[in-house]
Amino acid sequence: MKKWYKESYFDRQNWILENYDQLNLSTDEALFLLLIELAKKNRNSITYEYLSKKLNKTNTEVDKMIADLVSRHYLKLSANEKGLVFDYDEIFEFDPNRYEISDEKDLYDITSDVFNKPLSLTELQKMNDLLEQYGKEHFIEALRIAEAQRKLSMSYIEGILRNEKK
């Protein structure tokens, strides 16, 4: 069965624009993905020169953006006889409400589920400190952001919380 985001009626550009904040994409990253989609629709080849010119960035800056998107599993790169192939289908699989946080389920269990492993004693202590310092609501939001970016560590969650506080 065809994935919903591969259907002919699905507008990828609108979806990216409507969801880039939940995906925690920078405006440059969102524009990057929109340019890839535009090039694919127009059957243009996608090169570093094209991306650099359109984004007004150096090749190094474009490379860093690509590396960041790849590390978050939002983008896959491959090559064929025509050049680079940019695949960002996985971005459509992201669901910020994938797990429901409710009072019936313990926050420690939820965090353990998201981390896909039992939390260590150090992680539990850090989690307690973060909950005490920032509160449950902020911790949950930071946990969702960390999951979306696929950077699951208490240090990363703490960084999100510190940045939000500023």
pLDDT at 100: 45
Given a cut of 80, whether residue 93 has pLDDT beyond it is: no
Q: What is the separation, in whole angstroms, between the first and last Cα of the chain?
A: 46
DSSP tally for the chain: helices H, then strands E: 8, 2
Read off the amino acid at residue 25: L
At residue 154, does pLDDT exceed 90?
A: yes
Look at residue 104 and tell me whether its pLDDT is greater than 50: no
pTM tops 0.85: no
The rounded distance, in Å, linking the Cα atoms of 159 and 109 is 22
What topology does CATH give the domain 7-93? Arc Repressor Mutant, subunit A (1.10.10)
What would the two tokens of residue 89 be?
């289908």
- The pLDDT of residue 101 is 47
Task: Give the mean pLDDT of 7-33.
Answer: 87
Domain boundaries, the chain: 7-93, 107-165
